[in-house]
Structure 1
């Protein structure tokens, strides 16, 4: 039994995903488009959050996850009089997801091969969640609240999987822009993460 097999299954799965060279062709196809659209010049600096001092992406993900989770809470326990509010929350999440994705792509563009493999799966999983929430919103608009709620619950499952992958990138692999002053003032002298304001 190898050392990887002795690890917790979720850790082993993430290590295998990081080593999945079969994803490299897709990464190579996407990377130039993403780089040109989200990672260069003033637009890239804005999306990475250099003006903020650290990555903008986590802040925006809280908006999307918060609104969609709140909608599902209302669906589960809110009653008929909260249907309109739940639909509005799903809509707010859908409006917010575009800028959130852009900031994520800006960070992804400068990350390493392992991180880009995980990030690509993260993006695809988020795409599934977006599609389900979009269908949920349309169902609610057509008066099919139960169908909309079920679609949102499925979307929440996809969103949770995507959030796990995103959490792996930000915490286990330290992907994310931060100002170099934060590394320079680390009392323990640790060197994790990105040493320059571009996050690379």
Structure 2
């Protein structure tokens, strides 16, 4: 029920279309600017080589890394060893890299969407 209400609401938000047009041009233009390597990168970020979209796979990296960072922080509270702090810092950094890669893959997938899916991606 709520899902249908949200979908209808987003469907009526036609002002999102020009925003989506602009963002899709930015994403497509970024890959086009790189020429042949850009096409290869776009294919890679779509997950064509994997046989599955890459974005959902990459989202696990920041979630897992940041969860481990919390465990390292809790371990520091128990042991007070600065090794836990360093370990947490590394996992936070890994999570940030994974989040960036996930965002790039997500925008790459989204750039080929139309209509409702495109508006949902902007909303």
Between structures 1 and 2, the one with greater helix share: 2
Measured after TM superposition, the shift of residue 23 of structure 1 is: 1.6
**What is the aligned partner in structure 2 of residue 29 from structure 1?**
22
Q: TM-score, normalised by structure 1?
A: 0.49
1:18-71, Cα deviation, whole Å (9 max, x unpaired): 442222221121111111224873222111011111111111111112112322
Shift of 1:102: 1.6
- Structure scoring higher RCO (CA < 8 A, sep ≥ 6) equals 2
* 1:97 Cα deviation after fit: 2.4
1:120–1:73 CA distance, 2 compared to 1 (3 A):
farther
Q: Sort the Cα spacing of 1:84 and 1:117 in 2 relative to 1 into closer, same or farther, 3 A.
A: same
Could you tell me which residue of structure 2 aligns to residue 56 of structure 1? 54
| 1:33–1:67 Cα change, 3 Å | same
Uncovered stretches (5+) of structure 1, i.e. residues with no partner: 1-6, 122-200
Structure 2 match to 1:100: 102
- 1:11 is displaced (CA, Å) by 5.2
CA distance 1:38–1:47, change in 2 (3 Å): farther
Distance in 2, matches of 1:85 and 1:108, equals: 34
Equivalent residues in 2 for 1:69-148, closer than 5 Å: 69-75=67-73, 77-78=74-75, 79=77, 80-81=80-81, 82-121=84-123
Distance change (3 Å), C-alpha of 1:69 and 1:89 = same
Aligned partners of 2:12 and 2:27: how far apart in 1?
A: 22
Q: Which runs of 4+ in 1 moved over 4 A?
A: none
- CA gap of 1:43–1:32, structure 2 versus 1, over 3 A, is same
Aligned residue pairs, count: 113
